[in-house]
Structure 1
């Protein structure tokens, strides 16, 4: 079976230069085909748009090169893979348009496609090709200057797709987990919408369930404040990455201070 690996990036996110990369491995044994493209900065550019566009470009080029399928597609974006597989709904209009266009291409060409998520370390070539040239130069000259955090580098206490949260909250958490740099409003709008199975758990129970590493992180970030520590652990157990769970609580603290003014 032929395979396609794809990846996309936006630097900075949102609004920056988008890069798209893909790699086609042929079952016939011929040499792999690599491809990449860029798009100039635009307010509508995001990391997720880049990921979707990379998939569309990869499939389009596969067909142009004579690919007939079946095709196994691999990507490290859980959002794109899950939405293309029909597991998650698409609410963002920009993403919905690219998804529809890609699905139309697949249907028109009667291409049999299977979508599978892979971690970043299994998608390194496409990841490299997805870097805009400006970032490639920046990374090679000074690695410390790289501006975006790759979502697949994040650490998790729990898989949001396996936790007992509402489907709406699961979607919001997944969207945050796949964004390199979520904005203040994204965290402010992230709400449970009442009480869930984690809401009434006390700190000691949360620490046991989250484990010593996660507990150590929140103790360091929120010294002496058990309420804030518990809140961060709850978000981790709901499936938000450890770094974003900490940022979520810090945003809530800032919002609380603003309300008191």
Structure 2
């Protein structure tokens, strides 16, 4: 199972430079940024880039401290699509390009993707690392330096292992989502993946 932490940063919300980052728990990480955006744009971009960088069939868990990004990717998107990408009040969906991009990336990925909310800034090693990289990318863009280009796609089998000390995390599962391809959905009844009740010693394996 691939586990990736994502985070976004905006130096002045809205309109300031933004940075995004994802951190594979046993492999590489990547970050990037843009001259202008919002916190929500940065969080969504981090999720999108994480999915695109891990296109294989291995199950994947994305940890994020943004409930907005998680709900956009897993809860709200179905209703928005049925309504022609409109909200319940009839307004156009905000950040629609990123939301649609995430939905398409999930649909194209052979392996299932789940989302977990984690509390930010409480010593979670991978969340803190993603936050650090996203902030650095935003500051680099604001200073006029080119942001790092997205890394080439990786899979669980190709990801170089490295020893990482997993810090204590305070986390709870807010969404358990399987996003199989249409072919896979037709071949089997959809199923949700159940995670154990999270605590300070949560084990996902």
Q: Could you state the TM-score of these two structures normalised by the residue count of structure 2?
A: 0.55
Choose the corresponding residue for 1:53, options 45, 50, 55: 45
CA distance in 2, matches of 1:117, 1:87: 16
Q: Hey, what does 2:180 align to over in structure 1?
A: none
> Looking at CA atoms only, which structure, 1 or 2, has the larger radius of gyration?
1
Contact kept? 2:20, 2:137, Cα under 8 Å = no
Return closer, same or farther for 1:133/1:102 CA change in 2, 3 Å cut-off: closer
Return closer, same or farther for 1:49/1:132 CA change in 2, 3 Å cut-off: same
- The CA RMSD over aligned residues, in Å, is 2.5
Q: Could you state the TM-score of these two structures normalised by the residue count of structure 1?
A: 0.44
Counterparts of 1:102-251 in structure 2, within 5 Å, are: 102-120=102-120, 121=122, 122=124, 123-133=127-137, 135=139
CA distance in 2, matches of 1:102, 1:5: 16
Higher relative contact order (Cα pairs below 8 Å, separated by 6+ residues): 2
Return closer, same or farther for 1:55/1:133 CA change in 2, 3 Å cut-off: closer
The runs of 5 or more residues in structure 2 that have no matched partner are 81-86, 143-173, 175-205
Contact kept? 1:70, 1:113, Cα under 8 Å = yes
Q: Hey, what does 2:25 align to over in structure 1?
A: 25
The runs of 5 or more residues in structure 1 that have no matched partner are 27-31, 139-160, 162-261
Structure with more helix by fraction? 1
CA distance in 2, matches of 1:116, 1:107: 19
Contact kept? 1:7, 1:20, Cα under 8 Å = yes
Q: Across the two proteins, how many residue pairs are aligned to each other?
A: 127
Return closer, same or farther for 1:132/1:16 CA change in 2, 3 Å cut-off: farther
Return closer, same or farther for 1:6/1:96 CA change in 2, 3 Å cut-off: same
1:11 aligns with 2:11: yes
How far residue 83 of structure 1 moved from its aligned partner, in angstroms, is 2.5
